[in-house]
Amino acid sequence: MSEKKVSLLEGFKAFLTRGNVIDLAVAVVIGAAFTNIVNAVVKGVINPLVGAFGTQDLDNYSSCLQGPCTTDPKTGEMDGIEILWGSVLSAALSFLITAAVVYFLMVLPMAKYLARRAATQAAKEGVRETMEVSELEVLKEIRDALVAQRTGGEPGSHGPGSGEAPGGTDGAAADPREDR
């Protein structure tokens, strides 16, 4: 039974020490701090600016759906149905500002970086392919020169009379005396 607990703890430790779990935890903490900044900007700057066009702060804008929407001073209860559309608009502005900041300061630069990295990688691959093609050409020329020396023909002639089989090897068995 103790072996099972040890393996569970080891599995949990491996899960916690994975790179993506730690990255996610950091992202959540930074996101929470960033949310506080955005909310402070919306409540401290945007809401008063929008409220400047009216008579009050954006969070205080509301409409009555039914009834006079009056608050009883003794009990603090609302008579009627009040719709707080100002706080909804404030939340929507917070969302838009957060999305814009995340896109323009995080997503767009990362996309440009990854595109540059992919272009660099593609250029390296292109150079590597060019090198492989040129090496292949040199090897073909060497092969052709060796075949020409053996057969006494011209380099690059692989016709039916060159003595080369379609597979690229000599059709006849090599003379063992030539290897010595």
54-65 confidence digits (pLDDT tens)? 766 777 788 888
Q: Quickly state the pLDDT bin for 165 (edges 50, 70, 90).
A: very low
- 95-133 pLDDT per residue, tens: 888 788 778 887 898 889 999 998 888 888 877 777 777
C-alpha 124/C-alpha 31 separation (Å) is 37
pLDDT at 172 over 80: no
Structure tokens at 177: 């005396």
Q: What is the average per-residue pLDDT within 15-31?
A: 80
Are the beta carbons of 65 and 56 closer than 8 angstroms? Answer: no
Residue 31, H or E segment: helix 19-41
Name which of 9-18, 48-57, 104-113, 164-173 the model is least confident about.
164-173
- Residues of the chain with pLDDT > 70, as a percent, come to 78
Q: What is the pTM of this model?
A: 0.47
Are the beta carbons of 155 and 143 closer than 8 angstroms? Answer: no
pLDDT at 160 over 50: no
pLDDT at 42 over 60: yes
